[in-house]
Amino acid sequence: MTAAPGHNPTFAARGPAERLAEAAPFLLVPLLAAAGWLAIPQGSSWLTLTVSGLAMGMMIFIMASGLTLIFGLMDVINFGHGAFVSVGAFVGVGALAALDGLTGAPSPALNALALALAAAAAMLATGALGWAFERAIVRPVYGAHLKQILVTMGGLIVIEQLILVIWGPSEIFFSRPEAFKGALTFAGAAIEKYRLVAVGVGLALFLAMRTALRATRIGLIVRAGVENREMVEALGYRLRVVFVGVFVAGSALAGLGGVMWGLYEEVITAHMGGALMVLVFIVVIIGGLGSVEGCFLGALLVGLMQNYVAFLEPKLALISNIGLMVAILMWRPQGMIPVVKAK
Amino acid sequence: MLKRILSGDMPQSRALGLILLAILIGLAFAPFLFPGTRSLDTAARICVFVALAASYDLLLGYAGIVSFAHTMFFGLGAYGVALASDGMGRSFGALAAGSLAGALAAAALALLVGLFSLRVRAIFFAMITLAVASAVAVLFSQLSGITGGEDGLNYRIPRALTAAARYAEEPFLGMRLTGKVLNYYLVFFGALILFLALLRVVNSPFGRVLQAIRENEFRAEAIGCRVVWHRTAATVISAVSAALAGSLYAIWLRYVGPDTVLSFEIMVDILLMVVIGGMGTMYGAAVGAALFVLAQNYLQALMGAAAEAAAGVPGLPLILDPDRWLLWLGALFILSVYFFPTGVVGRLRGR
Amino acid sequence: MSDPILTLEEVHTDIGRYRILQGVNLVAPRGAVTMLLGRNGVGKTTTLRTIMGLWRARSGRIVFDGADIAASPTPAIARAGIGYVPEDMGIFSDLTVEENMILAARSGPLAEARRERIFAAFPPLRTFWRKPAGTLSGGQKQMLAIARAMAEERRLYLIDEPTKGLAPAIVAAMASALRALKAEGASILMVEQNFSVARHLGDHAAVMDDGRIVWTGAMAELAGDRALQERLMGLSLDAHGGR
């Protein structure tokens, strides 16, 4: 190898401070868990709360991940994202009700199959809805944030109302399939089985998404597009097509999050998605708009914070998450893992 | 004279001028033109919402900022009056103190939210205000010891403002001159002053800088406008006006509750009023608010009748149900943003 | 100039309310290097961006290899065979050098021989192959930007100021890499302010002023005529970029 004349390649060694700054967001989750341990008197309560905090965080991550990528890629902020959460919950729960042969069966495998089918139905429905939403609502207002916010908010209202038209005005109560009811006891703490399922699904999804973003060409296009849309197009990629794909996938994930949340609460309402958007927005803001990793960490922080504070002082649960958002934005105004933007 | 009152911002369209005049006359003489408790109630609601929508338009239309916390400020003003009347007993002093406290609280909160999120990134503002507003709404409905929780607060206002007070033996033009009428005029003139003050703000040099920032943030910054300062100031002025409108509403209703003054539904209503009336014109907010409140009161009844008439057709009664009125408003809202971005006023002015 | 790879006819481009290009007529011959010269702010970068479809021409024709591409979307223009190195290099700093190159080779995996040729021209890229591109130095980023354009066979290269802000030693490395590209018979349209690079690399020159091409001809002719240089660009290129 012959180096260019007079040029010796160097790679600036990074000091410990820089490494710490990079790792800091990843340390916040264990840090918050430790703070919870100090604040909560009994170890068993702490364990129960931590698991439910993680479960809640994972479900919020599933809903929020699409939103953050949609913004990162096309600078589109979709206030209607919550509608996909609600629609997903209603379709999924409807599918479960139709599959009562499987849900009622004493076999855990059949119960799990019912759950998987319900999730698939929800994702299919919300993915299709997302495709239509992108075409009809979002496409005409690219590049105009003000109109985007207004129009997607209008879309949320219309879809919520249509849910009321189709499924009726009252909330729907139901119960999870037998295999997902009840709790396990571990170190004196009661841990609901379903929460473990939620943690597992969320973690698997996060890892799959991370792998897809790093190891596939589409993933590279998405990551590159978040940073510099123009250059990706100047390399010959039709980013618009990729974006529609991301929008559909993000909507399908919101639907999946909706089913999972519905099963967690065992009650669904047309407004559940809109209400959850408050937490979803906090998560994408503190994570750094456009960053999947940031979104994941942010979701875990919000989930843990919500559960710890709800145990200690129920009235302050939501306010504590506003406080978390303020603290993180004071520390890093662009969120925990800021996304590099070319322009 | 008229030009000075309107801060030089004339309607610029004969039709618009006539509509505004009709609204003004209708509201000014409402107790005599439309006797009856329900009509007077509607008129008072229109007054309050004209002021509220105008204060929102300062942000949305003139500064180009989307906020979802406007009902929070409205609610602060309303709860200020309610809590003061609850704590200090019925008196004009309580009304004044409550209004002032609500306005100050709104100003402080708006300053915090504004400095915090506008400094970072304008797009954050919409998301952060949504989060903060819902947290505050949840807080107000949970702190039941102070705010009455979900049930809200009933309180008493000075007797001089209630129907129990009589100011004339004989009815005047068919209306009994009670404290209720006086109360209405308090609301009417309060709202009118707020509206004219906002009209002055948007036509001042400050208002023009706001519009310059809305048109091109970078250019405005380049020619020396302090963008964050101007946007934050607009947020504070808008919040204080909303709080005062909330105080008027609380004085009129003698009741506050989360659903009445803090709910997200009201936020949606305000958005619709401003967009349908026409963003970026104070008159649009006035026309939008008047149209909206009238429609809300009378169209829902019409929808009910239509639903009954369509009873035989499958599906139709469901979407014509008066409870589904937001469905139609939502659709109308989307269509207005696409096809009538300048709203009713823009149409009338031929733009 | 009988066989142009790219022809611009009366191209007008507006950015916002500003009229940047006001009737550009430009011919880039096949298999040659055309240098686009001129003072700052006369529209050279806008010309390249208009060709790529990153700004839309308000009027005029842009003919690439016989087809009018003035109305084509950017990805289609790139697919037609144009490699583009923007002024700000357009590096994806969150991606590794390798990932940047994978994306650049759109039609398939990066061929082994091509990769070795790129490594030979730009050795630091081999060293930092697995590192995030954001951690490269300015010169290394520029190398990556040009390497990306070379990741596939292109019919035309648009290169915007490849030596801007680089140390002299790196400018030399860059120039030799571009000479190698030229030796392969590539067609290149390049904006360059460094005259010694422009003079040695360019076959043809086109000088812009005020949104128009004001002079075209052989690079040698321009390089040999100081009076002409001064008239066209307000200063002698020798005084500006000489050794």
Question: Which amino acid is residue B297, in one-letter code?
Answer: N
Interface check for A157 against chain B (CB to CB < 8 A): the answer is: yes
Contact (Cβ atoms closer than 8 angstroms) between residue A177 and residue A111: yes
Contact (Cβ atoms closer than 8 angstroms) between residue A227 and residue A107: no
The helix, strand and coil proportions of chain C, stated in percent and rounded to the nearest 5, come to 40, 30, 35
Residue with tokens 């144009």: C82
CATH number at residue A177: 1.10.3470
Rounded to whole angstroms, what are the CA distances from B236 to B197, B230, B240? 14, 10, 6
In whole angstroms, give the CA distance from residue A289 to residue A339: 7
Question: What residues are paired with C218 via a beta bridge?
Answer: C204
Residue A274 pLDDT more than 60? yes
Contact (Cβ atoms closer than 8 angstroms) between residue B261 and residue B246: yes
Domains with residue ranges and CATH for chain B: 2-348 (1.10.3470)
Interface check for C132 against chain A (CB to CB < 8 A): the answer is: no
In whole angstroms, give the CA distance from residue C217 to residue C181: 22
Contact (Cβ atoms closer than 8 angstroms) between residue A134 and residue A242: no
Interface check for A107 against chain B (CB to CB < 8 A): the answer is: no
Q: Which domain holds residue A50?
A: 45-331
How many Cα atoms occupy the beta-carbon half-sphere of B277 within 13 Å?
A: 32
- Where along chain C do its domains lie? 4-81+154-241, 90-149
Radius of gyration of chain C (CA): 17
Interface check for C126 against chain A (CB to CB < 8 A): the answer is: yes
φ, ψ (nearest 5 deg) of residue B41: -60, -45
Rounded to whole angstroms, what are the CA distances from C21 to C57, C89, C211? 9, 22, 4
Neighbours of A (≥3 Cβ pairs closer than 8 A)?
B, C
Does some domain include residue A39? no
Interface check for C134 against chain A (CB to CB < 8 A): the answer is: yes
Which tens digit of pLDDT belongs to each residue from B121-172?
667 888 899 999 999 998 998 888 888 888 888 898 888 888 877 887 777 7
How does DSSP classify residue B150?
G
Residue A1 pLDDT more than 60? no
Shortest CB distance from C134 goes to which of A9, A236, A340? A340
In whole angstroms, give the CA distance from residue C119 to residue A116: 49
Which of A174, A175, A159 is CA-nearest to residue A87? A159
CB distance A157–B337 less than 8 Å? no
Question: What residues are paired with C34 via a beta bridge?
Answer: C189, C204
Question: Which amino acid is residue B58, in one-letter code?
Answer: L
Does some domain include residue A17? no
Contact (Cβ atoms closer than 8 angstroms) between residue A334 and residue A288: yes
Instruction: Give the H or E element holding residue A196.
Output: helix A193-215
Contact (Cβ atoms closer than 8 angstroms) between residue B44 and residue B236: no
Where residue A318 falls among pLDDT bands split at 50, 70, 90? confident
In whole angstroms, give the CA distance from residue A304 to residue A40: 13
Contact (Cβ atoms closer than 8 angstroms) between residue A88 and residue A263: no
In whole angstroms, give the CA distance from residue B253 to residue B140: 18
C4-81+154-241, CATH topology level? Rossmann fold (3.40.50)
Q: Which positions in chain A touch B333 (Cβ < 8 Å)?
A: 150, 154, 157
Q: What is the dihedral of CA C169, C171, C177, C181, to 10 degrees?
A: -160
% of chain A at pLDDT higher than 90:
66
Residue in A with minimal Cα distance to B63 = A146
Q: What angle do CA B53, B58, B59 make, to 5 degrees?
A: 100
Question: What residues are paired with C33 via a beta bridge?
Answer: C188
Residue contacts between A and B (CB atoms, under 8 Å): 101
In whole angstroms, give the CA distance from residue B324 to residue A162: 9
Contact (Cβ atoms closer than 8 angstroms) between residue C39 and residue C193: no
Q: Which positions in chain C touch A220 (Cβ < 8 Å)?
A: 95, 99, 102-103
Give the distance from residue C200's alpha carbon to the nearest chain A alpha carbon, in angstroms. 18
Where residue A48 falls among pLDDT bands split at 50, 70, 90? very high
Residue A129 pLDDT more than 90? yes
Does some domain include residue A179? yes
Q: Which positions in chain B touch A322 (Cβ < 8 Å)?
A: 131-132, 135
Which tens digit of pLDDT belongs to each residue from A149-195?
999 999 999 999 999 999 988 899 998 888 888 888 888 888 899 99
In whole angstroms, give the CA distance from residue A252 to residue C13: 41
At a CB cut-off of 8 Å and minimum separation 6, what does A214 contact?
A220, A223
Tokens of B250: 């609380």
φ, ψ (nearest 5 deg) of residue B9: -100, 85
Contact (Cβ atoms closer than 8 angstroms) between residue B110 and residue A304: no
Residue B79 pLDDT more than 50? yes
> Structurally, how many domains does chain A consist of?
1
Give the distance from residue C228's alpha carbon to the nearest chain A alpha carbon, in angstroms. 34
Does some domain include residue A154? yes
| pTM listed for this prediction | 0.89
Which of A2, A12, A236 is CA-nearest to residue C177? A2
Tokens of A226: 């978040």
Residue A330 pLDDT more than 90? no
Instruction: Give buried/exposed letters for A270-296 (b at 16+ CB in 10 A, else e).
Output: bbbbbebbbbbbbbbbbbbbbbbbbbb
Mean pLDDT of chain B: 88
Q: Which positions in chain A touch B331 (Cβ < 8 Å)?
A: 154, 158
Contact (Cβ atoms closer than 8 angstroms) between residue C117 and residue C148: no
The length of chain A, given as a count of residues: 343
Residue contacts between A and C (CB atoms, under 8 Å): 99
How many Cα atoms occupy the beta-carbon half-sphere of C163 within 13 Å?
A: 23
Q: Which positions in chain C touch A228 (Cβ < 8 Å)?
A: 90, 92
Radius of gyration of chain A (CA): 21
Q: What pLDDT sits at residue C243?
A: 33
Neighbours of C (≥3 Cβ pairs closer than 8 A)?
A
Residue B226 pLDDT more than 90? no
Q: Which positions in chain A touch B329 (Cβ < 8 Å)?
A: 157
Residue with tokens 């047309």: A270
How does DSSP classify residue A314?
G
Q: DSSP secondary structure string, A110-149?
A: HHHHHHHHHHHHHHHHHHHHHHHHIIIIIGGGTT-HHHHH
Does some domain include residue A263? yes
Residue with tokens 């709104």: B106
Where residue B219 falls among pLDDT bands split at 50, 70, 90? confident
Q: What pLDDT sits at residue C235?
A: 59
ipTM given for this complex:
0.91
